[in-house]
Amino acid sequence: MFQINDNFTKIAGNYLFAEVARRVSAFQDRNPQRRVIKMGIGDVTEPLPEASIKAFHEGVDDMGRRESFMGYGPYEGYAFLREAIAKNDFQSRGADIGADEIFLSDGAKCDTGSIQELFGANVRIAVPDPVYPVYVDSNVMAGHSGLWKDGRYEGFVYLDSTPENGYVPAPPAEAVDVIYLCFPNNPTGAVATREQLKTWVDYARANKALILFDAAYEAFVRDPAIPRSIYEIEGARECALEFRSFSKTAGFTGVRVAFTVIPRDLKVPDSTGKMHSLHSLWMRRQATRYNGLSYPVQKASAAIYSPEGKAQVKTLLDFYLENARLVREAILSVGVPCVGGENSPYLWVRPGGDSWAFFDRLLNEAGVVCTPGSGFGRCGEGHVRFSAFNSRQNVQDAIALIKQALTKG
């Protein structure tokens, strides 16, 4: 008799953004004439950089000629793109990562959600709270947690990110096997200093733990003192892998390009203590389950590393960062605490109280959609997330509406 994977029955509630969408759609049904400005979900609004569009077209034209036609590509991606990434994103910043340590994919969501296939059955997982929900849910589905109880899964070690620690948790007192870190953080917008990341790398090496570093928002870092890669920290090659995405960097959410970095010297034990290369295991996994990104998409991706591409990406990111600055200034001006939005497209706002109640209030009174902090974890209660991904007009209109609603009391 067919039976389902029982772990799926442990998953708590709706996927956060599905619940947000449900409430927004119910509001729109009740108020068909009201305008709704979505400042919640982190999806880009601006078109692709010109350089990528041009390369995309060239890639499609190549596919239309017998002499330049491309069939299946390498599972890990074409060398031309991996070399551009290694040189521009890592080596130019003193991070010793080679093109052969990069695995291209169609999303950091898929990679962060699939990597747990490589974990042993009894690993102890540490996740930040609040957190990008994929890390938690994918590990629950894989059976790495206990049951959902009082807003948390038993068996996970939660790393509280609170106003007290500036939303950057320190390593736990106990030993864990896998640590998810995300900086610049989604949802809090917090960034970690070199010293803070060093404490995590030291902890991971001392405990033989694996760090999964999600740097999907690294391109928003403007402060030169803030590391953009875990590999800027000494010792990280032995204990960390890193996820990156073109989604927010180059507006590729609808194109789908990301990559995972796995250093060749990262060795991990099986249950008998025998050591294996995580790089080889992931390559084996990808070769079994994945057939790579399309050639035109990889051409479009490589174009962001051309001189024109770099300039266009900078303009794009500066635009979103200016949106973030405007929202931040507006929220602070009405006396509501707010962090993030400086090296990040996300603002973490602390009105206090129940975050779904605040979400409903803002939707009903201002027609503005935010994301309730409690949806990202227990420590997100009392907070909401605003995203800077929007047109300038929408941001300006939303700011006026938010200010009006918040000053009403």
| Residues in touch with ligand PLP (CB under 6 A) | 42, 107-109, 112, 132, 182, 186, 214, 216, 245, 247, 253, 258
Residue 115 or 140: which CB sits closer to ligand PLP? 115
Residue 49 or 107: which CB sits closer to ligand PLP? 107
- CB under 8 Å to 2, separation ≥6 — which residues? none
Q: Which residue is nearest to ligand PLP (CB)?
A: 107
Question: Token match 């760090």: residue?
Answer: 211
Residue 52 or 245: which CB sits closer to ligand PLP? 245
Query: What letter represents residue 141's amino acid?
Result: M
Question: What is the distance between the alpha carbons of residues 245 and 110, in angstroms, rounded to a whole number?
Answer: 11
In the complex, minimum distance from the CB of residue 21 to ligand PLP, in angstroms, rounded to a whole number: 15
- Count Cα atoms within 13 angstroms, Cβ side, for 157: 17
- CA nearest neighbour of 362 among 24, 21, 16, 132: 24
Q: In this structure, what are the phi and psi dihedrals at residue 25, rounded to the nearest 5 degrees? A: -65, -35
Question: What is the distance between the alpha carbons of residues 80 and 305, in angstroms, rounded to a whole number?
Answer: 11
- CB under 8 Å to 62, separation ≥6 — which residues? 68, 69, 70, 295, 296, 299
In the complex, minimum distance from the CB of residue 252 to ligand PLP, in angstroms, rounded to a whole number: 8
Q: Which residues pair with 339 in a beta bridge?
A: 348
In the complex, minimum distance from the CB of residue 270 to ligand PLP, in angstroms, rounded to a whole number: 28
Residue 108 or 219: which CB sits closer to ligand PLP? 108
Residue 192 or 405: which CB sits closer to ligand PLP? 192
- CA nearest neighbour of 382 among 340, 360, 351: 351
In the complex, minimum distance from the CB of residue 407 to ligand PLP, in angstroms, rounded to a whole number: 31
Question: What is the distance between the alpha carbons of residues 36 and 195, in angstroms, rounded to a whole number?
Answer: 42
In the complex, minimum distance from the CB of residue 134 to ligand PLP, in angstroms, rounded to a whole number: 7
In the complex, minimum distance from the CB of residue 109 to ligand PLP, in angstroms, rounded to a whole number: 3
Question: What is the distance between the alpha carbons of residues 407 and 347, in angstroms, rounded to a whole number?
Answer: 19
| Coil, strand or helix at 148 | strand
Residue 108 or 321: which CB sits closer to ligand PLP? 108
Residue 42 or 341: which CB sits closer to ligand PLP? 42
In the complex, minimum distance from the CB of residue 46 to ligand PLP, in angstroms, rounded to a whole number: 15
Q: In this structure, what are the phi and psi dihedrals at residue 10, rounded to the nearest 5 degrees? A: -85, -20
Q: At what angle do helices 355-366 and 16-30 cross, to 10 degrees?
A: 30
Residue 129 or 214: which CB sits closer to ligand PLP? 214
In the complex, minimum distance from the CB of residue 217 to ligand PLP, in angstroms, rounded to a whole number: 7
Q: How many CB atoms lie within 10 A of CB 43?
A: 15
